[in-house]
């Protein structure tokens, strides 16, 4: 529980900068399904009167506030802000589709699930880009590379992959010369495990500059956005 003495900053990284109220509680009943993070309501017990609670922060406890990374800052939780009055405080999470937090498009739901479960390290995985034809139809159930069907040209491994401030970026992608006669309409990113059947699809990017594009045997270079979101911002996918 966060006191009104605290001022949010995107630069804040660890728990030590947060002014807290009461005793922190460990989340129970945690689940991640299709990119949606949920847990049981947080019970903080009886809190002494005289404090104002403005928000809830979730963090990963390392045993030390100076090394416990902040994960979520939530100031729109039901009942907040509130003044403590000596009664019990219980924080129920949203019962709508987002629950505590959700990672949505352009992430495939199963990839979002892996991301929130710490099973998909974007900077540690071998991310590859593949062009998809106009015949491809997005399906939230798509999970592995074979689900995408036939590609246009060959997949290319991303280089210079970074995640900074929740933003995924990489060097522009050079697909080389692509045989004439196809229409490249979308880009998908997947994490290459060395086996197509176990390589999870990660991102579906339907709004690529210059696409749809009819291949004519010439080289194809895909340039990622130079705007703030780059390839994708994790801060704006819910």
pLDDT digits (tens, 9 = 90+) for 7-58: 999 999 999 999 999 999 999 999 999 899 999 999 999 999 999 999 999 9
Task: Specify the higher pLDDT residue, 224 or 118.
Answer: 224
The pLDDT of 207-214, averaged and rounded, is 92
The pLDDT of 137-163, averaged and rounded, is 97
In which residue are the tokens 């903080």 written? 44
CA distances from 117 to 14, 69, 100, 186, 195 (A): 20, 16, 14, 27, 22
Peptide bond into 81 cis (omega under 30): yes
Contact (Cβ atoms closer than 8 angstroms) between residue 93 and residue 29: no
- Please determine, for residue 237, whether its predicted confidence score (pLDDT) is greater than 70: no
Closest to 12 (Cα-Cα) out of 118, 165, 116, 230 = 165
Model pTM score:
0.85
Q: What is the pLDDT of residue 206?
A: 95
Share of the chain above pLDDT 70, in %: 99
pLDDT classification of 60: cutoffs 50, 70, 90: very high
- Please determine, for residue 6, whether its predicted confidence score (pLDDT) is greater than 80: yes
pLDDT classification of 161: cutoffs 50, 70, 90: very high
Q: What is the pLDDT of residue 234?
A: 84
Q: What is the pLDDT of residue 235?
A: 77
Contact (Cβ atoms closer than 8 angstroms) between residue 203 and residue 210: no
Mean pLDDT computed over every residue of the chain: 94
| 27-31, 118-122, 169-173: the lowest-pLDDT one | 118-122
The pLDDT of 171-199, averaged and rounded, is 97
- Please determine, for residue 236, whether its predicted confidence score (pLDDT) is greater than 70: no
């Amino acid at each position: 529980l966060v006191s009104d003495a605290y001022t949010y900053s995107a630069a804040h990284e660890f728990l030590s900068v947060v002014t807290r109220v009461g005793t922190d509680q460990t989340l129970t009943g945690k689940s991640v399904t299709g990119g949606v993070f949920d847990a049981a309501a947080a019970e903080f017990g009886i809190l002494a009167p005289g404090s104002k609670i403005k928000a809830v922060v979730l963090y990963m406890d390392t045993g030390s506030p100076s090394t416990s990374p902040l994960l979520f800052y939530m100031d729109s939780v039901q009942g907040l802000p509130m003044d403590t009055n000596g009664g019990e405080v219980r924080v129920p999470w949203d019962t709508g589709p987002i629950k505590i937090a959700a990672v949505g498009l352009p992430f495939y739901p199963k990839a979002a699930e892996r991301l929130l479960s710490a099973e998909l390290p974007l900077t540690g995985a071998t991310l590859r880009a593949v062009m998809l034809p106009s015949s491809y139809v997005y399906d939230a159930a798509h999970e592995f590379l074979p689900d995408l069907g036939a590609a246009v040209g060959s997949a290319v491994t991303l280089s210079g992959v970074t995640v900074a401030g929740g933003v995924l970026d990489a060097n522009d992608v050079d697909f080389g010369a692509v045989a004439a006669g196809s229409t490249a309409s979308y880009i998908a990113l997947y994490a290459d495990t060395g086996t197509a059947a176990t390589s999870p699809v990660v991102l579906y990017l339907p709004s690529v500059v210059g696409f749809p594009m009819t291949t004519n045997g010439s080289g194809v270079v895909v340039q990622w956005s130079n705007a703030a979101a780059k390839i994708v911002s994790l801060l704006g996918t819910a």
